[in-house]
Amino acid sequence: MIKIAIATNINFYNHTLPIVINSLLESGIEKKDIYVFNSGFNEFSHKIIDDINHYYLEHNSYEYSPLIEIVDKELSSEYWFLIHDTCKVGKNFKTLLYNVPQDKPVKLALKSKPAMSIGLYKYDYLLSVKDKIMSIRNSDYSRQSMIHWKMWGVPNEDYILWMTEPQPMIYNNNNNYEVVDNNNWYNTTTNRQTEYYHSLDLFKNKSNWGQTYGDNMVLEI
């Protein structure tokens, strides 16, 4: 069993969720297997909207927020696949996603490091590193704090995926990706580029690639 964990937040989700969720459904992923982890709220709540689980979180640790919630609330599944809300997938995504080696590895990464933490995680493995995951739980939403954790994430990209043993396998043994355009899917002024990952038929509309960090870091969609 594989459940999809979408990492989003209070500022982005209205723009991003329609694109990523629709693409997942079109690839054949069932609604019951899609879980939205929406960070940055003052109080926790859980709602089922159109058969999809939505968790509204009282913390925000960027792409790690879903992993924090999964281990904290013990949301069980054989595997969890972590995906950013600024992604969309193609028709072959589900077939490629379910191509898990027979030896059942604990992690499969989108690509070699850096992989933006996008990949497949065995639930039992996540529980085994719960203390490490919970240590980065952030509930301070000030700009200073959010920039701190965004900058922390630069040298610590793939904190659980590549930076925590054991090393993951690469999904479908395919490390190829390419930049396919410089479009902003959300019709805003932020500079973005679209990367396509062959391993999972997955697109990422990315900001903050080789750009200035610190106070000028892009925190908007």
**The domain that contains 139 carries what CATH number?**
3.90.550
Distance CA 161, CA 174 (A): 17
- pLDDT tens digit sequence for 110-147: 999 999 999 999 999 999 999 999 999 999 999 999 99
Statement: residue 213 has pLDDT above 60? no
The percent of residues above 70 in pLDDT, for the chain, comes to 95
Strand-by-strand arrangement of the 177-181 sheet: 87-89, 202-206, 193-197, 177-181
Identify the band that residue 208 occupies on the pLDDT scale cut at 50, 70 and 90. confident
Cβ pair 186, 221 in contact under 8 A: yes
Q: In which domain, by residue range, is 149 found?
A: 2-172
- pLDDT tens digit sequence for 48-79: 999 999 999 999 999 999 999 999 999 999 99
Strand partners, 48: 53
Distance CA 87, CA 32 (A): 19
Identify the band that residue 221 occupies on the pLDDT scale cut at 50, 70 and 90. confident
Mean of pLDDT values over 159-176: 97
206 inside domain: no
- pLDDT at residue 218, as a whole number: 54
pTM over 0.85? The answer is: yes
* Total domain count, the chain: 1
Torsion, Cα of 174, 102, 122, 166 (10° steps): -70
- pLDDT tens digit sequence for 15-55: 999 999 999 999 999 999 999 999 999 999 999 999 999 99
Statement: residue 151 has pLDDT above 80? yes
181 inside domain: no
Statement: residue 94 has pLDDT above 60? yes
Closest CA to 154 of 81, 214, 67, 86: 214
Statement: residue 214 has pLDDT above 60? no
- pLDDT at residue 162, as a whole number: 98
Averaged pLDDT score across all residues of the chain: 94
